[in-house]
Structure 1
Amino acid sequence: DFQPNEKYPDIGLLSSIAKALGMTPPNWMLEAPLNTFLLIVVMVWIQTGFAMVVLAAAMKNVPDEIVEAAMLDGASNWRRFVRITVPMIRSTIVVVLTTTAIGTLKVFDIVRTMTGGNFQTNVIANEMYSQSFRQMDYGHGSALAMLLFLGVVPIIIYNVRQLRLERTER
């Protein structure tokens, strides 16, 4: 099981900043809901790089002629983005959102590494692992795996429909 570092409870950048400001740093990973918020921040940080690279590549593929025509027509930056860029990269947005949603649903490594699923931070994937491999309750672990699968299937179906819709529009 995950055990907090009792010898050095206040290591890290945030703890150092809190100490420099004369505050007592909290036990970041032990206190709910702070620990859940920090796990969300880590997940967003991890997903941001992927989303930025994929969306930036998609935006580079928007034809300059269309953007320039909109500029000549007097469209503002916001209107060009909303009316031209977003519709042209819609399928990429769907893929990024789908990948992020699936990654979030099956998050295991971050929770396992940072809290071990303790301190009110347990998620379905972590509980599935615990039931199957720690408590040897394969039936319960399999049932949780099916719940996770059923959570991912609608997202995949939506993604496939959007991609088919885009192909028929071309």
Structure 2
Amino acid sequence: MDEILDLLRQNARLSVEDIAAMTKKTTDEVKQIIKKLEDDGVILKYAAIVNPEKDKVAKDKVVAEIQIQVQPQREHGFDAIADRIYRFPQVKSLYLMSGGYDLKVLIEGDNLKDVALFVSEKLSTLEGVRSTKTNFVLKTYKENDIVYVEDERDRRETVQS
């Protein structure tokens, strides 16, 4: 099961036949294992990883990381406020953190004003939110083991005199 999961992590477009050949299993065994992984919630989604610098829609978006200090709720801890935060469509990722703040949120907006309004009108007004600190993503070099920057070597030939 782990071997198939690792193969799918590397390339979710592998065919069942290719996975069977690589793992020395039958196609039926591979199908059953993949179905079990999906049914058990191990595999949640298949998605393409797109270079944001080359995707016009993503390139025009503003991405911000927001560090949030919250007051945990009795009997629910951080989960109740996290539940309210991750339901906003702007929220792309949400993490419980150790250190100087409690939650880290990655959000996406159409422009700086959208992000500012989200923080001031939606996020900071939630009961339990004590403070927020917003940082804007200026450029993504690497994410989820994918390097987005291309090797930009100087391809000019030297001139010798």
* TM-score for the superposition, normalised by structure 1: 0.26
* TM-score for the superposition, normalised by structure 2: 0.27
Structure number having the greater helix percentage: 1
Structure number having the greater strand percentage: 2
